A and B are shown apart, each in its own frame.
Chain A
Amino acid sequence: MKKKFKNIFFILIVLLFFNSSTYSSDQLNKITKNLRCLICQGQSVYDSQSEFALSMKVLIQEKIQEGQSEKQIYNFLKDKYGDWIVYDPEINQKTILLWLFPLILFIFGGLLIARKLSIK
């Protein structure tokens, strides 16, 4: 038992000292993973090798180097292509139900269980 833990610990310590410095273009990857490739069937710009995706990567990298923030870049692209180019639906009038519905259902579920607890 103790040995098992020792082994686990050992593996974990090894993992800990994994070189954790980040490779280049992390910011670019993060943004392009969140963008839909508009001429593909359900791929992100990050995954796609289409001309559109490649151009997007160049453009976004330029904008990152100009110092633009993620939010600015997303707004820029949403302005040109519509909300659906970004995979993260922000919370606004149109999407409020989207975010609230599961939470409402969760509370409802909790109430049902509470009822089970309090039957006389």
Chain B
Amino acid sequence: MINQFGNYSLLAAFFLSIYLVIHLSFLNNFKNFKTKPKVIGLLSVQCFMVIVSFISLLFAFIRSDFSNETVYNNSHTTKPIFYKISGTWGNHEGSLLLWLLVLTIFLLIFIFRSNHLSKKLTNLTLLFQEVIILGFLGFIIFTSNPFSVLFPFPKEGLGLNPILQDPILAIHPPILYLGYVGTSIIFSSSLAALVSNSINKLWVLEIKKWILVSWIFLTIGIMLGSIWAYYELGWGGFWFWDPVENVSLMPWFCLTALLHSIIVLEKRNQLHSWVLILSITTFALSMSGTFLVRSGILNSIHTFANDPTRGVYILIFLLILLVISIVIYFVFKKNIPEKKIQSFLISKEITIMTNNWFMMFFLSVVLIGTIYPIFLEVLDGSKISIGPPFYHKLITPFLIIFLVFMSVGPSIKWIKDKKFKIYYDQIFLLIISLTLSYLIIIKLGQSYLFSIPLLGISFYLFFQTSKDFLKKNLNLSQKISHFGFAILILSILLNGLLSKEFSSNMKLGDERKFDNKIMQFKNLETKNYSNFKSLIGKFEIIGENNKLIFYPEIRIYNQPLTITSEADIITNFISDNFLVFNVLKEDGYFNVRYQHKPLMLWIWISVILISLGGILRLFDQNER
């Protein structure tokens, strides 16, 4: 019964959407003030319908209603209630419903905030957003309906993949989607501003808030995904340049570039076209990401179930959106109030453009790395893999230059800065940074060409951004975010350089010696839980003056029958100690892997700092 509720509300929303698109398209020159309350009313109803739909699915999961095919495919009666709830959006159909939910809610928020914007701009934004919503509704109803009925009703479900039963993974999609959906508002609003000739200060200030919101959520969402991978997947890594990871990183590069460019637009009334192009591109990347992940075209550990038909739908939808955007851009180009002013070399405008320049480069590397195999296979028939070595090789040299710019850029003034004065303490810091880096690299016996300059400039950026807190002329949010970024780069580098690992095949009672430490496999016990059986190992690593005790687990889930290994991670501010073990075919033997990973916690803290700067900016009305 509730199933049908959900289905009908979706259909209702769908027809509403069609009506709204037609209605908004024909609104007489968008000057009709009377229609606005009507439109708001309809949008609220639509949002309500989607909420009802979402809650129906949620209830179906909570009640383990296996007459619903989605619930059947993704849930099980023995699953803990928390994961039954989060299982609602942990699958293809449910996650799309979540997308839709956020889309409709954000649209309502937009319209309630739009009193100071021109009517035409608002109505056009609504129109474009509704087209997107319509597309999603169509996609859900026709290819991915979460309310399809199974008859006869099965008594038990197929269960949720155990590696997805994790608290962090439960909130990772919603946060990420908040970021993605934000880019849709930016997209619609930008096109609307272009068509309605309202690319003005009012619009810029409004859109800046949306950019910040999307960016904050996207940043945190990506971080959560990495944290989950680190804690849950059991290989001790947090980024693998996996296509699905890349797909979330690409809009982030774009959004970061947009974040910086919108400042130029706000303060100097420059870069209108570029901001528009970025807005369109960011959303296009978010949507392409959706396509790549759900269509089966990419080979990854993260992908949803493969289904080419769904891929075709999204592809066509995306094509239509992009063609419309490009056509609108070229038709209404004359509306852009851009004055061609010369920029001076040493000016904030140029440093921000440089930021964008590098962001676009990093974006292109990740984009090409991700989709090139597809192109090669279709055009040439051969298959290649593109993994971490490719990305590292291309990004590293440019990252070094980028960090140099980032160290000096933010403090340069608008319009024109004086001849670049060389401050002696900056040179002193630079020398210290490079020397420090040199010592570390040499001591480690590493021999990469770029290691020394890269580490050196990271130290330098760290020192500079720390020093910046003393300056009075920069704003706090910028200082925090940039400082966070410096810590991020530095901790990732040091973590990469200083991490060590040891692995061995052991059976209970075994002992291994490595590097002045002794590892002992001391105990093994089993424990039963509601939906899995757990094999808990006890390992002791005895060093010269400390002892670490680990309790990694091997879990055998009942539905679906899967075996996962859960690492035990001992975390503190200096380093993480990570131990994981896996069953081997040879009776009684386990493959044990221990890793020592310095500064892991700082990687997460730094990302929080980066987003904190954004949050601060969002709430501070009085900053420069």
Direct A–B contact present (CB less than 8 angstroms): yes
Using a CB–CB cutoff of 8 Å, the interface residues on chain A facing chain B are: 1, 4, 12, 15-16, 18-25, 29, 33-34, 36, 40-44, 46-47, 49, 51, 54, 82-89, 94-95, 97-99, 101-102, 105-106, 109-110, 113, 116-120
Partner of B398, one of A84, A101, A106: A106
Residues from chain B with Cβ under 8 Å of A22 in the complex: 445, 500
Partner of B353, one of A19, A41, A113: A113
Residues from chain A with Cβ under 8 Å of B598 in the complex: 15, 18
B422 within 8 A of A: no
Distance (Å) between the CB of A118 and the closest chain B CB?
7
Could you list 25 A-B pairs, sorted by A, with CB under 8 Å? A4-B466, A15-B440, A20-B444, A20-B498, A21-B515, A23-B514, A41-B301, A41-B303, A44-B240, A49-B582, A51-B585, A54-B584, A83-B382, A84-B385, A87-B388, A87-B389, A88-B387, A89-B385, A89-B390, A94-B376, A94-B380, A95-B384, A101-B368, A116-B353, A119-B343
B439 within 8 A of A: yes
Closest to A82 in B: B383
Partner of A42, one of B301, B357, B365, B382: B301
Closest to B345 in A: A117
B1 within 8 A of A: no
Distance (Å) between the CB of B565 and the closest chain A CB?
8
A119 and B389 in contact, given A25-B503, A47-B237 (Cβ under 8 angstroms) = no
A47 and B386 in contact, given A20-B445, A25-B503 (Cβ under 8 angstroms) = no
Residues from chain B with Cβ under 8 Å of A89 in the complex: 384-386, 390
Interface magnitude class on chain B:
35 or more
Contact A23 B368 (CB under 8 A): no
**Count of inter-chain pairs, beta carbons less than 8 A:** 138
Residues from chain A with Cβ under 8 Å of B360 in the complex: 105, 109
A16 and B443 in contact, given A47-B235, A95-B384, A102-B394 (Cβ under 8 angstroms) = yes
A87 and B498 in contact, given A16-B440, A24-B514 (Cβ under 8 angstroms) = no
Distance (Å) between the CB of B453 and the closest chain A CB?
18
Chain B contact surface mostly: mixed
A73 and B34 alpha carbons, distance in the complex (Å)? 74
Contact B365 A87 (CB under 8 A): no
B476 within 8 A of A: no
Residues from chain B with Cβ under 8 Å of A120 in the complex: 342
Residues from chain A with Cβ under 8 Å of B439 in the complex: 16
A118 and B233 alpha carbons, distance in the complex (Å)? 52
Residues from chain A with Cβ under 8 Å of B353 in the complex: 113, 116
Distance (Å) between the CB of A48 and the closest chain B CB?
9
Distance (Å) between the CB of B543 and the closest chain A CB?
10
Partner of B364, one of A41, A105, A113: A105
Partner of B498, one of A1, A4, A15: A15
Residues from chain A with Cβ under 8 Å of B475 in the complex: none
- Considering only residues 228-256 of chain B, those with a C-beta below 8 Å from chain A are 233, 235, 237, 240, 242-243
Residues from chain A with Cβ under 8 Å of B516 in the complex: 19
A106 and B401 alpha carbons, distance in the complex (Å)? 13
Contact A116 B343 (CB under 8 A): yes
**Could you list 7 further interchain pairs (A-B, Cβ under 8 angstroms) beyond the known A41-B300, A102-B368?**
A20-B445, A44-B240, A83-B384, A94-B384, A98-B369, A102-B394, A116-B353
Contact A12 B350 (CB under 8 A): no
The 8 closest A-B pairs by CB, nearest first: A87-B387, A88-B389, A47-B235, A42-B300, A84-B383, A42-B301, A102-B364, A23-B502
Contact A118 B303 (CB under 8 A): no
Instruction: Determine which residue in A82, A87, A120 has the highest number of CB atoms from chain B within 10 A of its CB, and name it.
Output: A87
Residues from chain A with Cβ under 8 Å of B449 in the complex: none
Contact B500 A36 (CB under 8 A): no
A20 and B515 alpha carbons, distance in the complex (Å)? 10
A86 and B373 alpha carbons, distance in the complex (Å)? 13
A98 and B494 in contact, given A22-B500, A23-B514, A41-B303 (Cβ under 8 angstroms) = no
B323 within 8 A of A: no
B511 within 8 A of A: no
Distance (Å) between the CB of A92 and the closest chain B CB?
10
A21 and B361 alpha carbons, distance in the complex (Å)? 37
Instruction: Determine which residue in B343, B385, B386 has the highest number of CB atoms from chain A within 10 A of its CB, and name it.
Output: B385
Distance (Å) between the CB of B308 and the closest chain A CB?
17
B109 within 8 A of A: no
